Structure 1
Amino acid sequence: MLTTVQDWGELAEVSERAGLGQDLVIQTAYGDSGKTTYFVTSEAEFAAVADEVTGVEIKVMKRINNRPIAIEAVLTRQGTVVGPCMTEITGHADLTPYRGGWAGNEMFPTVLDDTSRHAAIELVRKLGDRLGKEGYRGFFEVDVLLDTDTGDVYLGELNPRISGASAITNVTAGAYADVPLFAFHLLEYSGIDFEIDVEEINLRWEELVSEDEWSHMVIKHTSSTVERIDAAPRTGRYSLDHYGNLVYTHHDYDWHLLGNESDAFYLRIYQEGDYRWKGADLGILVTKAHLEAGHGGLTLHAKYLIDAIRGMYCTTVIDGDELAPKPTPAKGK
Structure 2
Amino acid sequence: MKCISDIAELRLFMLRNERPIYFISASLFNLMGIDEWVGSFKFISYIDPFDGRHPDVFVPSKIPGFKPKSIEDITNHLLQHPEVIDYISRRGGRPGIVCLMFNEKTEEICKKLGVEILLPTAKLRQHFDNKMETVRIGNKAGVPSVPNTLGPARTYEELDCSARKAGLGADLVVQTAFGDSGKTTFFIASEDDYNLHAAKISAEDEVKIMKRINCRSATIEACTTASGTLVAPLMTEIIGKPELTPYKGGWAGNEIFANAFSEEVCAKARDMTIRLGDQLLQEGYRGCFNADFLVVPEDNEVYLGELNPRISGASSLINQAAFAFADAPLFLFHLMEFLGIEYDIDVKELNDRWARKELIDSRSQLILKSSEDVGIAAHAPATGIYRMAPDGSVSYDRFACRWKAIENDGEAFFLRFTGRGDARYKGADLGALVVRGRGQDDEFELNDRARNWIKGINRLYVSKPATEVQHA
Q: TM-score, normalization: structure 1? A: 0.92
Shift of 1:226: 4.0
Shift of 1:260: 2.5
Write out aligned runs for 1:302-321 (5 A): 302-318=450-466
Which residue number in structure 2 is paired with residue 90 of structure 1? Answer: 239
Q: 2:290, 2:308 within 8 Å by CA — same for their partners in 1?
A: yes
Which residue number in structure 1 is paired with residue 252 of structure 2? Answer: 103
Which residue number in structure 2 is paired with residue 328 of structure 1? Answer: none
Q: Does 1:173 align with 2:348?
A: no
Per-residue displacement from partner, 1:239-269 (whole Å, max 9, x unpaired)?
A: 2246653221111111123232211000100
Gap regions ≥5 residues in structure 2: 1-148
Higher strand proportion (structure 1 or 2):
1
Which residue number in structure 2 is paired with residue 146 of structure 1? Answer: 295
Q: 2:264, 2:300 within 8 Å by CA — same for their partners in 1?
A: no
Q: Secondary structure at the match of 2:450?
A: helix
Per-residue displacement from partner, 1:182-233 (whole Å, max 9, x unpaired)?
A: 111111111011111222211111115653101011000112x241110000
State the alpha-carbon separation in 1 of the partners of residues 263 and 186 from structure 2. Answer: 32
Q: 1:53 to 1:277 in 2, by over 3 A?
A: same
Shift of 1:179: 1.6
Which residue number in structure 2 is paired with residue 120 of structure 1? Answer: 269
Q: State which drifts further: 243-252 or 290-299.
A: 243-252
Q: 1:162 aligns with which of 298, 311, 318?
A: 311
Q: Secondary structure at the match of 1:34?
A: helix
Q: 2:289, 2:310 within 8 Å by CA — same for their partners in 1?
A: yes
State the alpha-carbon separation in 2 of the partners of residues 67 and 150 from structure 1. Answer: 12
Q: State which drifts further: 295-304 or 96-105.
A: 295-304
Shift of 1:80: 0.7
Shift of 1:116: 0.9
State the alpha-carbon separation in 2 of the partners of residues 60 and 259 from structure 1. Answer: 46
State the alpha-carbon separation in 2 of the partners of residues 233 and 272 from structure 1. Answer: 9
Q: State which drifts further: 49-58 or 90-99.
A: 49-58
Which residue number in structure 2 is paired with residue 45 of structure 1? Answer: 193
Which residue number in structure 1 is paired with residue 354 of structure 2? Answer: 205
Q: Secondary structure at the match of 2:316?
A: helix
Matched to 2:450, the amino acid is A
Q: Secondary structure at the match of 2:234?
A: strand
Q: 1:154 to 1:85 in 2, by over 3 A?
A: same
Q: 1:82, 1:121 within 8 Å by CA — same for their partners in 2?
A: yes
State the alpha-carbon separation in 2 of the partners of residues 183 and 194 from structure 1. Answer: 12
Q: 1:84, 1:209 within 8 Å by CA — same for their partners in 2?
A: no
Per-residue displacement from partner, 1:135-166 (whole Å, max 9, x unpaired)?
A: 11100001111113332111111111111111
Q: State which drifts further: 262-271 or 204-213.
A: 204-213
Q: 1:123 to 1:181 in 2, by over 3 A?
A: same
Q: Does 1:246 align with 2:401?
A: no
State the alpha-carbon separation in 2 of the partners of residues 126 and 205 from structure 1. Answer: 17
Matched to 1:45, the amino acid is D
- Work out the number of aligned pairs and report it: 321
Write out aligned runs for 1:47-86 (5 A): 47-56=195-204, 57-86=206-235
Q: 1:173, 1:208 within 8 Å by CA — same for their partners in 2?
A: no
Matched to 1:48, the amino acid is L
Q: 2:439, 2:450 within 8 Å by CA — same for their partners in 1?
A: yes
Write out aligned runs for 1:244-323 (5 A): 244-318=392-466
Q: 1:292, 1:298 within 8 Å by CA — same for their partners in 2?
A: yes
Q: Secondary structure at the match of 2:173?
A: strand
Q: Secondary structure at the match of 1:256?
A: helix
Any runs of at least 4 consecutive aligned residues in structure 1 with deviations exceeding 6 A, and if so which? none
Q: TM-score, normalization: structure 2? A: 0.66
Which residue number in structure 2 is paired with residue 327 of structure 1? Answer: none
CA RMSD of aligned residues (A): 1.8
Gap regions ≥5 residues in structure 1: 324-333
